[in-house]
Structure 1
């Protein structure tokens, strides 16, 4: 029987025995990537594995998510571990034997790694459960890449009754075997905007008889950058990026309209509010100044991901104790992650798991991404140790 009194030896031995099977599952999921809210096959694998382990679970949470629960032997807090399952619309070019079999879809962010790691942690923690005080909720989440999966699962009750939550992400810019953390705001709030600038189409030779939406939209494009440089506090990071500027069809026609799409990233709530208000004001002013009609659709997606010291510090201590070396303290990123929707509700910590393979310089969202699969077993040990120490 597993004993919590010799937790390090148990976790190491149990995980080592599970690793070949976990790698097999990971490669199967990797070969069959599924985009946001299409993770039917992946969710089926997860549900089948949880059933095999004897873990109660429900499917169809947040459309294609799966939630399992492991009850400890004594009452205590409920802690969630969350893993995302969706892939990206990228054509894989790794040439690996288990490369994606679906053209134009790839696990280029390592969510196949995450799903498998949580399955491994589930199996380990199921065996330890009688000695733990509390409940472990296993959240297998869809649609992280579109920042909609966590809110959908929360709407279906995935966060109800939680006391704290743990998320994690593989990091190819950290060597496998290393773990990391960010104190405070770790990842940015992510918001989106769609802007339509409506003018009056006409002949390019007679612009006075038209209202040119391209010129107006070009002015707006440059004005949007003043949201960062002239409206935000210098110590409040903010990014405003227009990723699409589309209008017109040929050389000699002034088009009827121009469409812009963009994203706003901020770490502080004040900066988020300032950006939204400024963009709305600039759009309104453009209409008056340039004789165009401007329509703005501004959508707040997810808040910044805040690591809570009360969850993070014990987790860092648990991982440090298990592996015998300190974690790497990292800088915040202006990237976004919808685990922040859970962290906005309960105290949470987002663990960074080194996945960089020796001799490679991989990056996430890249067609050639090849994480070191050793990060799966290491992640299992780290997550299981964090939860075990919390629920002793």
Structure 2
């Protein structure tokens, strides 16, 4: 059965453009509407990733049984409901609940679509396919801030419209991927966290802390110090991220996930130190561009590491759990980074993120290789 890869790619892109637009809007929206500071803004950014982290394994579990299409549809609907909730929220508590709903939607959207796509992919090409299909998610996260800037005060209506466009695209697909099978009974943690997943998960989770710090605090850091490029910083990050992801994904299949991840995260460490120390627009822009380079290939690299270690068994659950570590890293980075920024300054928050990147490289260097794997 032919997998509607292009339609799924666009559907996930629309959903994550909505998610990315919300990330751009929140650092200003929370203080302006609810009077919160860096901690409140960071929490609003990060809390959605709690729901995403919890939802991904279950979305992958359902996808492994052939239920990808309805799960992806539900994901789009939840994203739209969450966007509307953020628009209409009367207080910060309701806003945070809406963020949780949106996060659950984004989990279902991507974590059910990726196994659907990889089910028809040859093993030798899974790194590049995961990287290129992952551009739908990461491209949305990176391009969403551009959308938010372009639509101005209509950002939340754009979030809802993009989420519903995702639903419409999936509704035009005809079939689920393959035969629907009985769901595997969940009897314990091991059924939701297959062996071989935790170490790649720890790798991407630590890298995610770096991303979460950038997403939650970069604009606030540049604005607080009057550096003057806060309006374009996330766009610069997005541009370098997308270019390197598109051009560099085949490197994962060629050199292996471990090597690619270690080198790119090293670039991320340099970038975060640069952001922490930047005192002018040129240095801040260069460091922000390097931050995009440093995070561009971590996801396809960790997909490759995960599938190597689980030997392709239960790929939906395995990738869902691995990606949940990403969400947890971003979730922690928002409030913790915001607290560090309020108590010790933005520079300290970014240096702590650089420390997380260093720990990520340490995990990669100590990760045992699966038997028979060159990675």
TM bin, normalised by shorter chain, reads: under 0.3
Larger radius of gyration: 1
Q: Which is richer in strand?
A: 1
Determine which structure has greater relative contact order: mean sequence separation of CA pairs < 8 Å that are 6+ residues apart, divided by chain length.
Answer: 2
TM normalised by structure 1 equals 0.26
Q: Which is richer in helix?
A: 2
